């Protein structure tokens, strides 16, 4: 490719591949990239796409999906140059996975009857191929998401409550254990948000971890991903507190010195006005 792209013609995946191959040939920066050097960019682009999805911004979604696609094609072309695989092999891998994951649509029973296989939960299907619970989970998976995936996998082999009441009861049980640990040592745990070196703090940390894990399980069983639930709670808290800051500024109140009682009144006012 030597001519600039024609902006009047609708582009295709073939065009994207062509320009990426051209850049690998003629642009110094693109030519210098490796699988390893591109790792941070894929991570960043995935987060930017997630922001666009959260905001429901179609224009941003289109742009960020393009950036993620760029990373996919980049890696596929580098692998193609190494003789490892090409973009068609990547597409073939996707088709193979989707076919295997939906045997009730594409698979046949092993008895030779020609009938489609019965539908089976995905995690149950995957468990037949795993040696351990955590096999295949990325090492860098955020803790909240990892907890959700571990629980999904355990549920896939039958280690699960029949309904949402079980995990709800477990949350209450774990909260009681946290409160008991706090009561045992009283104000010694009041470290003003700074992790304590006191070995007794490790026991509280363990109990809090159990509580968080139980809440994640409650989210999962209720059909809510904990990461999405927490993301929305973060956004709600941020919006409300920023509204407090604006309201305080308009009234000449310094939020840094106003104190809890004054800030709590502003919080209630903001919340009531939503």
56-112: per-residue pLDDT in tens? Answer: 999 999 999 999 999 999 999 999 999 999 999 999 999 999 988 888 888 766 566
pLDDT at res. 53: 95
Q: What domain range includes position 67? A: 13-85
Is 27 domain-assigned? yes
Gap between the Cα atoms of 227 and 50, Å rounded: 12
Q: How confident is the model at residue 8 (pLDDT cuts 50, 70, 90)?
A: confident
Total residue length of the chain: 274
Is 50 domain-assigned? yes
pLDDT at res. 106: 86
- Summary count for the chain: helices (H), strands (E): 12, 0
Instruction: Tell me: pLDDT of 121 over 70.
Output: yes
**Would you state the structure tokens that stand for residue 133, as one six-digit string?**
């619970």
Is 43 domain-assigned? yes
Instruction: Tell me: pLDDT of 5 over 70.
Output: no
Instruction: Tell me: pLDDT of 187 over 80.
Output: no
Higher pLDDT, 32 or 126: 32
pLDDT at res. 130: 82
Across 8-28, average pLDDT = 94
Is 237 domain-assigned? yes
Query: 115: helix, coil or strand?
Result: coil
Higher pLDDT, 265 or 136: 265
Q: Which of 37, 70, 85 is the last residue of a domain?
A: 85
Higher pLDDT, 124 or 157: 157
Q: Which of 42, 60, 85 is the last residue of a domain?
A: 85
Is 55 domain-assigned? yes
Is 30 domain-assigned? yes
Report in angstroms the alpha-carbon separations of 190 from 183, 184, 211, 272.
12, 13, 19, 31
Question: CA end-to-end span of the chain, whole Å?
Answer: 55
CATH of the domain at 43: 1.10.287.1080
pLDDT at res. 266: 97
Q: How confident is the model at residue 41 (pLDDT cuts 50, 70, 90)?
A: very high
Q: How confident is the model at residue 131 (pLDDT cuts 50, 70, 90)?
A: confident
Q: How confident is the model at residue 250 (pLDDT cuts 50, 70, 90)?
A: very high
pLDDT at res. 194: 61
Q: Which of 45, 69, 85 is the last residue of a domain?
A: 85
Higher pLDDT, 182 or 250: 250
Across 136-144, average pLDDT = 89
Decide: 198 and 188 in contact? Cβ < 8 Å. Answer: yes
Is 17 domain-assigned? yes
Q: Give pTM, 2 decimals.
A: 0.72
Report in angstroms the alpha-carbon separations of 118 from 57, 98, 104, 110.
39, 16, 5, 11
Q: Which of 147, 148, 146, 130 is nearest to 138 (CA)?
A: 146
**Would you state the structure tokens that stand for residue 268, as one six-digit string?**
């209630």
Q: Number of folded domains in the chain?
A: 2
Is 130 domain-assigned? no
């Amino acid at each position: 490719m030597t001519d600039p792209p024609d902006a009047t013609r609708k582009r295709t995946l073939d065009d994207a591949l062509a320009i990426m191959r051209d850049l690998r040939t003629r642009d110094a920066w693109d030519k210098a990239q490796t699988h390893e050097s591109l790792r941070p960019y894929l991570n960043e682009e995935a987060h930017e796409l997630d922001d666009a999805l959260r905001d429901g911004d179609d224009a941003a979604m289109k742009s960020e999906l393009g950036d993620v696609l760029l990373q996919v094609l980049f890696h596929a072309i580098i692998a193609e140059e190494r003789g490892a695989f090409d973009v068609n092999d990547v597409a073939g891998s996707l088709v193979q996975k989707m076919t295997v994951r939906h045997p009730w649509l594409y698979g046949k029973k092993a008895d030779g009857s020609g009938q489609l296989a019965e539908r089976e939960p995905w995690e149950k299907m995957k468990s037949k191929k795993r040696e351990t619970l955590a096999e295949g989970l990325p090492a860098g998976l955020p803790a909240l998401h990892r907890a959700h995936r571990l629980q999904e996998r355990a549920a896939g082999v039958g280690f699960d409550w029949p309904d949402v009441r079980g995990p709800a009861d477990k949350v209450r049980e774990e909260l009681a254990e946290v409160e008991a640990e706090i009561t045992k040592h009283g104000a010694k745990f009041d470290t003003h948000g700074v992790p304590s070196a006191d070995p007794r703090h490790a026991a509280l940390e363990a109990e809090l971890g159990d509580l968080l894990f139980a809440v994640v399980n409650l989210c999962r069983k209720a059909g809510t991903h904990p990461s999405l639930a927490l993301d929305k709670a973060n956004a709600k808290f941020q919006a409300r507190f920023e509204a407090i800051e604006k309201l305080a500024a308009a009234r000449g109140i310094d939020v840094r010195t106003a104190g809890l009682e004054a800030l709590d009144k502003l919080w209630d006012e903001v919340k009531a006005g939503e």
